[in-house]
Amino acid sequence: MRFSRQMITVEDALHRLLERLGKQGSEEVHIGEAYGRTLACDMYATEDLPHFDRSPLDGFAVRAVDTVAASPDRPVRLKVVETIAAGDVPTVALAEGCASRIMTGAMLPAGADAIIMFEQTQQPAAIAAEVGIRRSLKPGENVSRRGEEIRQGTIIAHEGENINAGTMAILATFGYAHVPVVRKPRIGLLSTGVELLDVDQPLIPGKIRNSNTLMLSALIAEAGGIPLLFPNMPDDLEVAKGTLTEHLRLVDVLVTSGGVSVGDYDVMAALTDEPEAELLFNRIAMRPGSPTTSLMLQGKPIIALSGNPGACFLGFELFVRPTILSLSGRQEVRVRTIQAKLAISYTKPCPYPRYLRGWLVEEEGVLYAQPDFNEKAGNLGTLKNSECFIIIPAGGSGKQAGDLVEVLSHAMPSWKVREGKRL
Ligand SMILES: Nc1nc2c(c(=O)[nH]1)N[C@H]1C(S)=C(S)[C@@H](COP(=O)(O)OP(=O)(O)OC[C@H]3O[C@@H](n4cnc5c(N)ncnc54)[C@H](O)[C@@H]3O)O[C@H]1N2
Ligand code: MOO
Ligand SMILES: [Mg+2]
């Protein structure tokens, strides 16, 4: 199977993987820890919002009927009976000809049905016993009514929603000190290859330092998973079977780097031929990273990324990020693209869609996709500048500068670009 591989599309490969993912349980976290997590159930308004009639202005609470005759030339004079600050409960009900000083956010006194802002009154000092009302008001004018924004019992956030800063605000408003969230998936991570040295080891001929593990660990955490780093694995099939089986007990998904091609020591490819492994895919119509592989072992998915750093990075965005989002309970996990104009021509022919690393530039209101010149799968020096993948479709002779291309942007995640109608 490692040599006679069946090629499938990126979409089919992702589908095969996603349908094998289990469901994560939920946990309660303090709201201070909830940012970026996924809500595990629908949340409801525990009260009306606002939960009392309140003033949106600094001014006077009045009875509109008392102001009917008011004009700038002939202000109506009302007796000031109370000052109400935000947080106070008013103690005096307004009788005919009376007004209360009231601050923004404060509760309306009984009898009041309109608010006039200070600027539209004549009132020399804060302690004055009278106020001149310089215009007439309609009943209800400038009053924030109880429940006008949200009614008690309404759904305020849905299961599967990402908890962003706005969600934090609404959950806090309704008193949710603890929030039910989907448990973060534990993503095991290891690199294969005897050529790999640790970051603190001196270079010796033929060997390289392991850069993929740290890169992937950062990406996993950023995507919302808990990375569990395991030691590098030698390219030995029997060792691999034992080691991976052990690791899989501790994680929800295992991500590996390297050993997926047809080389003599490509251990992850060899593993897919073993009876205990169930192959999901091992050849994808894409460049780089066509040998990216996935298999089930011990009932759990392994995503085996290419060892080439550029291909490894792409494999993460196409397969691991959606896996983490899906396990995190997110409803939108599909890798969606946006359109931009290709900044320079790319004419290298390719039998499969090619994902060029690059970045987006806005020039005079037009979005351009700028490919990196250093796009070989084995190159890693410019990975840090790579903010998107520019998709050059298969066949033909590439794309010309100015042509519209699909772009998969991880700096501006395309899964955050909404589908559907504008308001
Ligand atoms: N005869 C063929 N050879 C290759 C083919 C092919 O179709 N036929 N495909 C090529 C393609 S495409 C890719 S992609 C690579 C896939 O390689 P592997 O996933 O098997 O990865 P390795 O062989 O282990 O390593 C490849 C490369 O990456 C370096 N590497 C590995 N791990 C790390 C790490 N953790 N950090 C940094 N760099 C790493 C490794 O030293 C190699 O240079 O196969 C092609 N070959
Ligand atoms: O597709 Mo490989 O990923 O060329 O390096
Ligand atoms: Mg190899």
User: For residue range 275-302, what is the model confidence (pLDDT) as tens digits?
Assistant: 999 999 999 999 999 999 999 999 999 9
Q: Are residues 36 and 78 both part of a single domain?
A: no
User: Mutation test of ligand 1: which of 191, 229, 261 has the most ligand atoms closer than 8 Å to its C-beta?
Assistant: 261
Statement to judge: residues 105 and 160 lie in one domain: no
Q: Is residue 171 part of a domain?
A: yes
For residues 85 and 64, membership in a common domain is answered with yes
Q: Give 75-97 pLDDT, tens digit per residue.
A: 999 999 999 999 999 999 999 99
pLDDT of residue 331: 81
Asked if residue 2 belongs to a domain, the reply is no
Please tell me which residue, 166 or 387, carries the higher pLDDT value.
166
Tell me, yes or no, whether 421 lies in a domain: no
Within a domain: 342: yes
> Quick one: average pLDDT of 92-111?
98
**C-alpha count within 13 angstroms, C-beta hemisphere, residue 138:** 3
Looking at residues 336-348, what average pLDDT do you find? Answer: 92
Residue minimizing CA distance to atom 23 of ligand 1: 259
Q: Which residues, by Cβ under 5 Å, contact ligand 3, an ion? A: 261, 263, 266
Q: What's the confidence (pLDDT) of residue 419?
A: 67
The response to whether residue 315 sits with its C-beta less than 6 Å from ligand 1 reads no
What distance in angstroms lies between residue 125's CA and the mean position of ligand 1's atoms? 80
Report how far ligand 1's centroid is from the alpha carbon of 164 (Å). Answer: 38
Q: Are residues 317 and 369 in the same domain?
A: no
Q: What is the mean pLDDT of residues 300-321?
A: 96
Identify whether residues 21 and 33 lie together within a single domain.
no
| Domain-located, residue 312 | yes
Q: What is the CA radius of gyration of the chain?
A: 31
Q: Are residues 64 and 99 in the same domain?
A: yes
Say yes or no: 250 and 127 in one domain.
no
Q: Is the CB of 256 under 6 A from ligand 1?
A: no
* Mean pLDDT confidence for 198-206: 96
CA atoms of 369 and 218, how far apart (whole Å): 25
Residue 354 structural domain:
338-414
**Number of CB atoms found within 10 A of residue 36's CB:** 16
Q: Is residue 269, in this structure, part of any structural domain at all? A: yes
| Mean pLDDT of the 232-255 span | 96
The fraction of the chain above a pLDDT of 90, given in percent, is 86
Q: Cβ < 6 Å from ligand 2: which residues?
A: 287-290, 306, 308, 311, 377
pLDDT score of 126 more than 90:
no
Residues 310 and 194 in one domain: yes
Reference 133, options 79, 81, 94; nearest CA is 79
pLDDT of residue 26: 97
Do 207 and 279 belong to one domain?
yes
Which atom of ligand 1 approaches the CA of 265 most closely?
Answer: 23
- As a whole number, mean pLDDT of residues 44-52 equals 98
Give backbone dihedrals phi and psi of 414, rounded to 5 degrees, phi first: -70, -20
234 shares a domain with 319: yes
Query: Does residue 157 register a pLDDT over 80?
Result: yes
Mark whether 167 and 249 lie in a shared domain. Answer: no
HSE, side-chain direction, 13 A CA sphere, residue 240? 29
The confidence band for 1, taking pLDDT boundaries of 50, 70 and 90, is: low
196 lines ligand 1 (CB under 6 A): yes
142 falls within a domain: no
**Å from CA of 289 to ligand 2 middle:** 4
Q: Is residue 124 part of a domain?
A: yes
CATH number of domain containing 175: 3.90.105.10
Statement: the pTM of the whole predicted model exceeds 0.80: yes
Residues 211-217, mean pLDDT to the nearest whole number: 98
Q: Does any ligand 1 atom lie closer than 6 A to the CB of residue 282?
A: no
Q: Are residues 377 and 261 in the same domain?
A: no
Nearest ligand 2 atom to alpha carbon 308: 5
| Nearest bound ligand to the CA of residue 306 | 1
Mean pLDDT score across all residues of the chain: 94
The number of folded domains in the chain is 4
* Domain edge (last residue) among 296, 327, 358: 327
Ligand 2 center from residue 226 Cα (angstroms): 27
Domain boundary among 108, 133, 158: 133
Calculate what percentage of the chain has a pLDDT beyond 70. 96
CATH number at residue 295: 3.40.980.10
CA angle 346, 351, 354 (to 5 degrees): 45
Q: So what's the pLDDT on residue 84?
A: 98
